[in-house]
Amino acid sequence: MNALLHPAVLVSLLLILWGGQSLAQSPNQQARGLAIVKELPSDKDEFATSFHFLSCKRFGVTTNFVLNSASPLTVENYKICAVAEFGDLTTRDLITEEDRQYLELKRNEFQELSQKYPTARGKLKPVMETVIHLQSQLDSGQVRYRGGWTSKVSFDAMVESKRKAAEKEAADYARELQDVQAREKNLASARTNLAGRWLLRDHVEYIDRLARQGIKMSGISLLPIPENIIQDALHLPIRNWKDVVLKEAKGAMGPAILCVMQPQGAYSMRLAFTIASDDEKIANADDLKGALKVLASIDNELAGWLPGAVAAALIKLDLNERNGDRDAEVTIDRDFGNRECELRVLPRSTHEDGTIYSLVCLTVH
């Protein structure tokens, strides 16, 4: 029998020869669309042939369809009647009214193709059923989010919770930024208290030194700082610490204390004060008593050691001046258990009101 094969049969044969194994035999490969083709544009729609594809790429006169891991199938564009893209129906979030409209558009598209091309009806039926099921889920008050179904009420509650959390995070960040800016401004502020002024001037180097040493909390005995001592203190920039604060006494010659705080106490503390001299006498005895009182409220042992250490340092400072070394400061180191103490007495200076003074700084950590 020499009857010629119908063009649709030839197209089917071409698909078999070029397409390799069926997509149904590759469960890990999910079809992303359906192509409907005719051998000749004049052929009737019922003779069109359809096939699933994994991906396609259109060129000027041809389109490449990837059916499986084999070479792509190339089809002349004039033979292509329609390409139905399945898109991300099985994975996309389905929440909004736009998602509903998307499903409706896909359903109408697949229905029209099924009616126009009978041979594609069987291949479009599963995806049509998928769309109908998704629409039914949405109509029942469900939404799909990140691959899972949940009630719209629960989803809205989750969105609201995330919105509030985001607002709180933004507000917290704004407060933190404002706090950082305020602390930086405090660090650069002008101080009338000489001890506080010196602590701020030396602060960056001091904090850098602490940061290089690192904070090893095991074995560290934190200094208990009474709340009243640092109440209404000036807050300074923080690195790895809970807080860094500076509290000054009123008056230029009064003491100042700087504390590097951890939750349970001070990791490091600096107590600075001035010793003003007037005709070989101490001119600010009350300021010195105030500094000693502050230290006694923190550690009695340190308070008992400090006066003798300061007296010894002043004697050494006098000897330096007599020997012509007026710019040398005196340093005394002492350990109290697991606390390291450093006492620094700076060379004498003259205040703007003419008062001669020495600045003393006790650092404990």
pLDDT value of position 14:
47
| 253 neighbors 263 (Cβ within 8 angstroms) | no
Average pLDDT over residues 1-13: 48
- Return the exposure string of 216-239: e unless at least 16 CB atoms fall within 10 Å of the residue's CB, then b: eeeeeebbebeeebbeebbebbee
CA–CA dist 123, 118 (Å, integer): 10
| Helix, strand, or coil (residue 222) | coil
| 210 neighbors 365 (Cβ within 8 angstroms) | yes
CA–CA dist 111, 128 (Å, integer): 8
Percent of the chain with pLDDT over 70: 89
Per-residue tokens: 166: 């985001």
107-134 pLDDT tens trace: 999 999 999 999 999 999 999 999 999 9
Per-residue tokens: 118: 């009978």
**Nearest alpha-carbon partner for 181 in 230, 234, 231, 237:** 237
pLDDT value of position 220:
57
156-198 pLDDT tens trace: 999 999 999 999 999 999 999 999 999 999 888 888 999 999 9
Domain ranges of the chain: 7-140, 189-364
pLDDT value of position 182:
92
pLDDT of 342 over the 90 cut: yes
Q: How far is CA 187 from CA 134, 148, 234, in A?
A: 61, 53, 9
